[in-house]
Chains A and B, each alone.
Chain A
Amino acid sequence: MASLQAWLAKPWIWSFIGALLVWLATIAFTGGYGGGGMITAALSLAVFTVIVGVGQMFVITLGPGNVDLSLPANIGLASAVAMKVMDGNDAMIAVGLLAALACGMAIGAANYLLIWALRIPPIIATLSASFIIQSIDISYGRGLQIKPPPGFADFTNWQILGIPVLAILTVLFTIGAAIALQRMIYGRSVLAIGQNIRAAWLAGVKVGRIRFLTYTLSGALGGLDGALLAGYFRGANVDIGNEYLLASIAVVVIGGTSVAGGKANVPGVWGAALFLVLLLTMLNTFGVSAGVRLVLTGLIIVGVITAAGGQKALR
């Protein structure tokens, strides 16, 4: 009993419970048909939200006002860069991935440069950066219809016992992110800055460097995500990242990370990503029309955040 309560006290457990409930509702509707395939599909799709979600989580944890709104544009550009560099050639996969990462890092670094040098709020800086990035993407990727190298496209679909390899790798990555958050100087510094940036500076935290690293990290993860998405969906696209603006923020918040900063939660990002993907699948299975689906998704996100907020009583 006590251990059950300890579990329920963890802010991320709710997103997993939500995901489980949605899954159960769906298979109850289908009469048990397709439950396993649904999980496989959900894992495959959730991976893309988790990768950018972790980046967004570190940024949001930096404190009020910190958010990376350039992720969709970043994903779009990086997907184009990756496909162009790989050029359908299996030998160039690694180079293409590196190019996408570098592209994302450059965007992240540029974001922080805007924030730092011009002292504009991150929300404005990353939003205006995203317009610039999008314009670059449109002119760079004009008429671009390069298919991913077959090896890369296959890689994004590999499965072991019904579990996507990409999901396994992403789980490993998120474990690393959780360790970095709690046990490394970088993570502790991010948490300190998010609670009180002035106190963090006075406690010797390298505030500027940590913020720069965080925006660069978020950018890099956006770039990686772009390349993987292009592999999974068989080609780059300017709009490929669009849904990750809301999704990256939603999974952070639903997952139990504090929007006020200073408190982050990595497992919750997974739970929330699965929840969102499964929710969409459920509504599709129920045959709900697109408009109603959006309304319901919005309402459910609001509901979950309200419910999770009730759990937050400190001390």
Chain B
Amino acid sequence: MPEVRADIVTLDGAEKHFGAANMDIIRLDGAEKHFGAVRALAGVDFHVRAGECVGLVGHNGAGKSTLMHMVAGTLMPDSGRIAVRGGIENNYSVPRALELGIRCVFQELSLCPNLSVAENTRINHASLSGFGWRRKAADLIAAKLDEIFPDHSISADDIAGDLSIGRRQMVEVARAFTVTQDPLELVILDEPTSSLDAHTAGQLLSFVRRFVASGKSCILISHLLGEVLGNADRIVVMRDGKIVASGAANAFDRDRLVTAMGGAEAREKAVAETASRPEAGPLRVRARPARQDDGKELVAHAGEIIGLAGLAGHGQTDLLLAIFAAASRAKAGIEVTAPVALVAGDRQSDGIFPQWSIAQNIGVRSLARLRNGLLISPQREAELAEFWRKKIGIRTPDMNNNIFSLSGGNQQKALFARALGSDAKIVLMDDPMRGVDIGTKLEVYDLVREEARNGRTFLWYTTETEELDNCDHIHVFKNGRIVANLRRDELTEEKIIQSSFGDAA
């Protein structure tokens, strides 16, 4: 007597989904979620089939992360239903998700900074026990890193906190694909390439294609629309907690996606506009990387936007930090002639003060100016915050709320406001756009160009080649040295990649 599958029997009108021949790995029906008065998800239907890569796009705060938290089991919907492989899950949770082979790489990196790469891997694999567990974990992660990022230079003994943010992201991604006891069916990748350079990101995406081709599934969240268009089989667009468009990837193009996401319209590149820039002003920065052995150096004048390009972790951040340090204490080989502010890319470790309000986080760089006599004036602090809330569009009802009440993109805007609202004439940007949606990006690009026209100097390290279009000069870095210096009109992606890999052409 064949056993009757419970999931088929108990369904009340949902058979049309669950009984489908092409079994879904996971399906959410009418998922709703409220956080206080905010409706983060408004009745979303979402599913992922076996052997498919679903691209998920939308602005920051559109509800993507909330939806993914439900898929991963970290959040329960207020109402709605979750089913895995056709079986309704009434007590869905993270352990249950892992048991079913559903894993997640979240945007906020989650490695324990004080543990080694191998030890971090062990956290996810309880079966690596007994003598030599460290060795087993090291072999496991090293093999996966080799598979995904063939020329990575990460050792399993490296302490996670010592790795650059890009390498931490590589470890995090590789760890999610390691298998011991639990099955592996679906991996959620939330902005997996945000801290990776073009080369490494390409390696990851081609691995994802191989993974999907082997019958497994993936959800890919990225603000780089090209990545989604090029790698997803199906694309789902979210806006204001709802799914507003969904369909095969080849039915979309960039403009359609941007329109569906709403808000910012696709804009032309700003090439023509910047050509009319007046002659460069006085010298602001002259810097030679510590390991530079030829005469190349970075020179920036007032009103210029200078790009720092190349593979991630090849000395761009180091040079920015050296320039930052040189502004307060003289340093050999670096000349800085005006106050400096820095916009952090690694928000949690370099930027945010978690105990403070949004207004305090913005004001901290300008305390001296906010004083009235000896004391900091709360009124001036509020005015500064309010000015930037309007100018840069920080979405919050109250600037006195804690900084973590903001979504990631809006936190980043607050960090921009901190730097741009200060007296700094030189603004250093340490790949600040990772994980930021395209609407925010375009707004900030405009702001940066406007500030440059008013005489500010920007040094802009970015892992996204498109952003270099905003720069007047681009320095390509390799192994801690500047290997090429391109004007914008000479800039092509090929040239950057060529310089990044070439033998210092």
Q: Which residues from chain A contact B360 at a C-beta distance below 8 Å?
A: 188
Q: Which residues from chain A contact B376 at a C-beta distance below 8 Å?
A: 183-185, 188
Complexed CA–CA distance, A205 and B355 (Å): 17
Report A206 CB to chain B, min CB distance, Å: 8
Which chain B residues numbered 101 to 147 have a C-beta less than 8 Å away from chain A? Answer: none
Complexed CA–CA distance, A81 and B418 (Å): 48
Q: Do A196 and B353 have beta carbons less than 8 Å apart?
A: yes
Q: Do B402 and A184 have beta carbons less than 8 Å apart?
A: no
Q: Do B349 and A198 have beta carbons less than 8 Å apart?
A: yes
Q: Do B364 and A192 have beta carbons less than 8 Å apart?
A: yes
Q: Is B501 an interface residue (CB 8 A)?
A: no
Other-chain residue from A183, A196, A205, A206 in contact with B349 (beta carbon distance below 8 A): A196
Other-chain residue from A179, A191, A199 in contact with B352 (beta carbon distance below 8 A): A199
Which chain A residues numbered 241 to 281 have a C-beta less than 8 Å away from chain B? Answer: 262-263
Total CB contacts across the A-B interface at under 8 A = 65
- Chain A residue nearest to B353 in the complex (CB): A195
Which chain B residues numbered 329 to 374 have a C-beta less than 8 Å away from chain A? Answer: 341-342, 344, 349-356, 360, 364-365, 367-368, 371, 374
Q: Do A195 and B354 have beta carbons less than 8 Å apart?
A: yes
Q: Is A119 an interface residue (CB 8 A)?
A: no
Report A204 CB to chain B, min CB distance, Å: 5
Q: Do A199 and B353 have beta carbons less than 8 Å apart?
A: yes
Q: Do B355 and A195 have beta carbons less than 8 Å apart?
A: yes
Q: Which of A189, A204, A314 has the most CB of B within 10 A?
A: A204
Complexed CA–CA distance, A184 and B351 (Å): 21
Complexed CA–CA distance, A202 and B344 (Å): 8
Complexed CA–CA distance, A204 and B340 (Å): 8
Complexed CA–CA distance, A195 and B351 (Å): 11
Q: Which residues from chain B contact A263 at a C-beta distance below 8 Å?
A: 355
The interface size bin for chain A is: 20 to 34
Q: Do A203 and B374 have beta carbons less than 8 Å apart?
A: no
Complexed CA–CA distance, A101 and B446 (Å): 55
Q: Mark B402-420, 1 if CB is under 8 A from A, else 0.
A: 1011000000000000100
Which chain B residues numbered 417 to 440 have a C-beta less than 8 Å away from chain A? Answer: 418, 422
Complexed CA–CA distance, A202 and B51 (Å): 45
Q: Do B365 and A191 have beta carbons less than 8 Å apart?
A: no
Report A274 CB to chain B, min CB distance, Å: 26
Q: Is B324 an interface residue (CB 8 A)?
A: yes
Complexed CA–CA distance, A188 and B368 (Å): 11
Q: Is B375 an interface residue (CB 8 A)?
A: yes
Other-chain residue from B350, B356, B375 in contact with A184 (beta carbon distance below 8 A): B375
Q: Do A192 and B351 have beta carbons less than 8 Å apart?
A: no
Q: Do B344 and A199 have beta carbons less than 8 Å apart?
A: yes
Q: Do A262 and B353 have beta carbons less than 8 Å apart?
A: yes
Other-chain residue from A188, A206, A262, A315 in contact with B364 (beta carbon distance below 8 A): A188
Complexed CA–CA distance, A285 and B400 (Å): 47
Q: Do B341 and A204 have beta carbons less than 8 Å apart?
A: yes
Other-chain residue from B354, B356, B367, B378 in contact with A185 (beta carbon distance below 8 A): B367
Q: Which residues from chain B contact A314 at a C-beta distance below 8 Å?
A: 355, 402
Complexed CA–CA distance, A195 and B364 (Å): 13
Q: Which residues from chain A contact B344 at a C-beta distance below 8 Å?
A: 199, 202
Complexed CA–CA distance, A35 and B342 (Å): 58
Q: Which residues from chain B contact A185 at a C-beta distance below 8 Å?
A: 367-368, 371, 376
Q: Do A202 and B364 have beta carbons less than 8 Å apart?
A: no
Other-chain residue from B351, B368, B402 in contact with A315 (beta carbon distance below 8 A): B402
Complexed CA–CA distance, A169 and B376 (Å): 25
Report A266 CB to chain B, min CB distance, Å: 15
Q: Do B351 and A202 have beta carbons less than 8 Å apart?
A: yes
Q: Mark A80-118, 1 if CB is under 8 A from B, else 0.
A: 000000000000000000000000000000000000000
Q: Do A315 and B405 have beta carbons less than 8 Å apart?
A: yes
Q: Do A195 and B422 have beta carbons less than 8 Å apart?
A: no
Report B133 CB to chain A, min CB distance, Å: 29
Ranked nearest first, the 5 interchain pairs of A and B with the lowest CB-CB distance are: A183-B375, A195-B353, A185-B367, A203-B364, A202-B342
User: Which A residues form the contact surface with B (CB < 8 A)?
Assistant: 179, 183-185, 188-189, 191-192, 195-196, 198-200, 202-206, 262-263, 314-315
30 A-B contact pairs sorted by A residue (CB < 8 Å): A179-B375, A184-B374, A184-B375, A184-B376, A185-B371, A188-B360, A188-B364, A188-B367, A189-B367, A191-B355, A195-B355, A195-B356, A196-B349, A196-B354, A198-B350, A199-B344, A199-B349, A199-B353, A200-B364, A202-B342, A202-B344, A202-B351, A203-B351, A203-B353, A203-B365, A204-B365, A204-B422, A205-B364, A206-B328, A314-B355
